[in-house]
Amino acid sequence: MKILVTAKRVEDPESKIKVDAAGKGIVKDGLKYKINPFDEIAVEEALRLAAKHPGDVVAVSIGGKEVHEQLRHALAMGATKAVWVNHEGPLDQMGVARLLQKIVEKEKPDLVILGKQSIDDDQNQVGQYLAEWLGWGQATFASKADSLDSENEKNKVPGVIVGDGAKTVDVIREVDGGLNRLRLTLPAVVTTDLRLNQPRYASLPGIMKAKSKPLEEQTAQGLGVDVAPKITVTKLSMPPARKAGIKVPDVATLVTKLKTEAKVV
């Protein structure tokens, strides 16, 4: 089973993000970068599936040369090949989905697994655009029946369940009010939610091996994709901070404040 995964470069989720003085971008000084956590879950899931249904796991990232770091991370985890779409400048979700569509058409994977959203833009769109444009089925917000503390998780059992003859996959999805199970005919697009798996650490031998794994370069122009953004960010700002609150010494004071000051009980 050949699986294609994404490895977007994003700010470390622990970083403190600040808007620059012009309100056009964020302050980059001192920021650390990582693979989008949802994409890391996608890589992990692909590796678990590939362990049972052997085939290539291809990681794709779009950006300048710095995204090699995220591609090498995916390779160090165990992906077999990386595709770098060399692109500088702004890109929106339609642009990303168009580029991925072209890569998918070249690579012909049986399954594409992406993070449900990237933690910078928080749009939650690319997987759905991609599925529609490929004419494939989609299962967003993939989760699983077991928790991240379960035996199955310790044994690295995939949450995505491959059907007989590897013609279908079943995906358990986090939806409002419970869990939904969909059966997708392959090829298909799956996007990951938080509780699909706990990604592995890259091992030292994995990191060494990653250095010699293939990393193929593509460009938007070479792929014949117009990536001119259709979304323009006109202004960035920081949300108003909440007014500083107070510490109350005991429960009695808290109840009094809630009744007389906040008037919420």
Q: For the beta carbon of residue 26, count every other beta carbon within 10 angstroms.
A: 14
Q: By CB under 8 A, what part of segment 190-209 binds another protein?
A: 193-195
Closest distance of CB 263 from another protein, Å: 9
- Quote the CA–CA distance of 257 and 252 in Å, as a whole number: 9
Q: Look up residue 208 and give its two tokens.
A: 């060494």
Q: For the beta carbon of residue 56, count every other beta carbon within 10 angstroms.
A: 15
Q: By CB under 8 A, what part of segment 104-143 binds another protein?
A: 116-117, 119-129, 131-133, 135-141, 143
Nearer to another protein, 204 or 243 (CB): 243
Say which DSSP state 164 is in: G
- Quote the CA–CA distance of 82 and 152 in Å, as a whole number: 29
- The stretch near another protein (CB under 8 A) out of 52-60, 103-111, 177-185, 211-219 is 177-185
Nearer to another protein, 75 or 94 (CB): 94
Greatest CA separation found in the chain?
A: 69
265 to 245, 247, 253, 258, 262: CA distances (angstroms): 18, 19, 14, 6, 8
Candidates 92, 96, 210, 225: give the one binding another protein (CB under 8 A): 92
Q: Which residues pair with 58 in a beta bridge?
A: 4, 81
Binding-site residue total for another protein (CB under 8 A)?
Answer: 84
Q: By CB under 8 A, what part of segment 219-238 binds another protein?
A: 230-238
Q: By CB under 8 A, what part of segment 17-56 binds another protein?
A: 17, 19, 26
Position 180 contacts another protein (CB under 8 A) = yes
- 31-53 burial, b at 16+ Cβ within 10 Å, e below that, comes to eeebbbbbbbbbbbbbbbbbeee
- 1-15 burial, b at 16+ Cβ within 10 Å, e below that, comes to bbbbbbbbbbbeeee
Q: By CB under 8 A, what part of segment 147-176 binds another protein?
A: 147-150, 170, 174-176
Closest distance of CB 245 from another protein, Å: 4
Nearer to another protein, 82 or 139 (CB): 139
Closest distance of CB 28 from another protein, Å: 13
Closest distance of CB 75 from another protein, Å: 26
